[in-house]
Amino acid sequence: MGFSFIHAADIHLGRTLSGLSDYVYDENIKKLYKTAVEKAFNNLTDFAINNNVDFVLIAGDTFDDTEQDFEAKLILKNALKRLENAGIKVFLICGNHDCLGSYNKNTFNFDENSIIKIVGLNSENNAEFPIKDKSGNDTALLHAVSYEKEIFKENPVKYLTPAKKGLFNIGLIHCDLDGANESPYGACTYSELAELNYDYFALGHIHIPSKTGNTICYSGTIQGRNPKETGAHGIKYIKVDKGSIIENSFVPIDVIRYENLEIDITPAQDITQVPNIITDEIEKKFQDDICELYLVKLLLAGFVKFSNELNEEFNETVIDRIKSDFNNKIIISEVINNTNIKYDEKLLQSDEGMAGKIFEVINNSDKVQKIIQNTEKELEKLIQKCDLSEEEKQILNDEIQKSAVQKCKNIANSIYESEYKEN
């Protein structure tokens, strides 16, 4: 007989969302910011009940802090009670934000017969929990480790027990997968987990959901907390039949979504056409989504003659227009002008003045290389501070060089236009 379950993590009850735009004065939106995490958690509970899942796994950081407020405790208890009343088991582990001390018995008084369990109570006594199907037969085995303290520098793999044949083995851990050895959050490797031969690993700690792999997965946080946590957030929905995963779906349940939206405005003949291009692209991007609010950082790209006219007055007009057109459901938090000046390369090449000289230097690879070499040491210091891989370093290096060249070309074009207009 098959079964299904939900894998969730990093709910962070009690944390306030950040990045509320200075342009938002609507009280309903402010209220939504305060209740977004609770609403997302309720969406999780609704999905579990509506889809009649057998159990829910929560892979750590359910609370944002060990000293959580009463409201956060109440939200969790109410959700767990709803699941319990629906006959849905819950297995929850402790992470670095909600280590073992977060769950005192005065609030979380689950007895040994409860179907709600805080598991893997410490690294020395990790938990094995047999999971029964609706007929009462053992069908899965949960292996789990919880954080006793906020810092857990040990590799959690050494506390996980071997897989048992004949059962669907699940690992439930809060960890830094393929992170640095000195990571204080249960660093381990993909290969170490794979060697255990578990059928599924429900991981917590990383807030971005896994986009690859079917058996070793981060579900991500259920609700993005700041403009860095862009895109959809939600849960993993897993269906198992005859001991194999037949479905591994990502289900968005977030209420507010942060997005970065790049729009190429090159087709605009003049600046008055840009707002319509922006509106059209926003409609394409968000027409099928169901969040209550989208907070969008708008990145304008492309080559236009009016690049320098995309100023604060333009930004405020666009922000107000989008806010009105979409009834406060889509808020532009910031407009970033990444456009470049559209110039005539042949004219710049033939120019005999300063503009032509600058353009000639920029198009001379040998001279450009000398300029790069003069700044390479300072650039290397910056890259090292970012703790990037070799591939990421090269990408950053290339982007900086490309940007520098383009800015010089813009300068050359501006000088050329000044000379031309004066003449």
> Closest Cα partner for 251 from 24, 50, 33?
50
Which pLDDT band holds residue 280 (cuts at 50, 70, 90)? very high
Instruction: Please say if the pLDDT value at position 419 is more than 60.
Output: no
For 68, residues 6+ apart whose C-beta sits below 8 A from its C-beta are 13, 14, 98, 102
What percent of the chain clears pLDDT 90, i.e. is strictly above it? 44
Assign domain 3-254 to a CATH class: alpha beta
Mean pLDDT lowest for which of 55-69, 167-181, 285-299, 407-421? 407-421
- Say what the alpha-carbon torsion angle 320, 321, 325, 327 is, to the nearest 10 degrees: 0
The whole-number pLDDT of residue 88 equals 94
The whole-number pLDDT of residue 422 equals 47
Which pLDDT band holds residue 202 (cuts at 50, 70, 90)? very high
Q: Provide the residue ranges of all domains of the chain, joining segments of one domain with +.
A: 3-254, 257-422
Please provide the size of the chain in residues. Answer: 423
3-class SS letters over the chain: CCEEEEEECCCCECCCCCCCCCCCCCHHHHHHHHHHHHHHHHHHHHHHHHCCCCEEEEECCCECCCCCCHHHHHHHHHHHHHHHHCCCEEEEECCCCCCHHHCCCCCCCCCCCCCEEECCCECCECEEEEEECCCCCEEEEEEECCCCCCCECCCHHHHCCCCCCCCEEEEEEECEECCCCCCCECEECHHHHHHCCCCEEEEECCCCCCCCCCCEEECCCCCCCCCCCECCCEEEEEEEECCEEEEEEEEECCCEEEEEEEEECCCCCCHHHHHHHHHHHHHHHHCCCCCCEEEEEEEEECEECCHHHCCHHHHHHHHHHHHHHCCCCEEEEEEEECCEECCCHHHHHHCCCHHHHHHHHHCCHHHHHHHHHHHHHHHHHHHHHCCCCHHHHHHHHHHHHHHHHHHHHHHHHHHHHHHHHHC
The whole-number pLDDT of residue 71 equals 87
Q: What is the reported pTM?
A: 0.79
- Exposure of 362 by Cβ count < 10 A (0-12 exposed, 13-18 middle, 19+ buried)? buried
Q: Using one digit for the tens of pLDDT, what is the confidence trace for 283-335?
A: 988 876 789 999 999 999 998 888 889 999 999 999 999 988 998 889 998 99
Q: Using one digit for the tens of pLDDT, what is the confidence trace for 221-261?
A: 999 998 889 999 999 999 999 889 999 999 999 999 999 99
Residue 137's Cβ-side half-sphere holds a number of Cα atoms within 13 Å equal to: 8
Q: Using one digit for the tens of pLDDT, what is the confidence trace for 359-403?
A: 565 565 555 555 555 555 555 656 555 655 666 667 766 766 666
The whole-number pLDDT of residue 222 equals 96
Angle at Cα 388 formed by Cα 386 and Cα 391, nearest 5°?
Answer: 145
CB–CB of 405/359 below 8 Å? Answer: no
Cα(371)–Cα(373) distance, integer angstroms: 6
Instruction: Please say if the pLDDT value at position 130 is more than 80.
Output: yes
User: Which residue type sits at 103?
Assistant: Y
| Cα-based distances in Å from 241 to 5, 168, 245 | 12, 10, 6
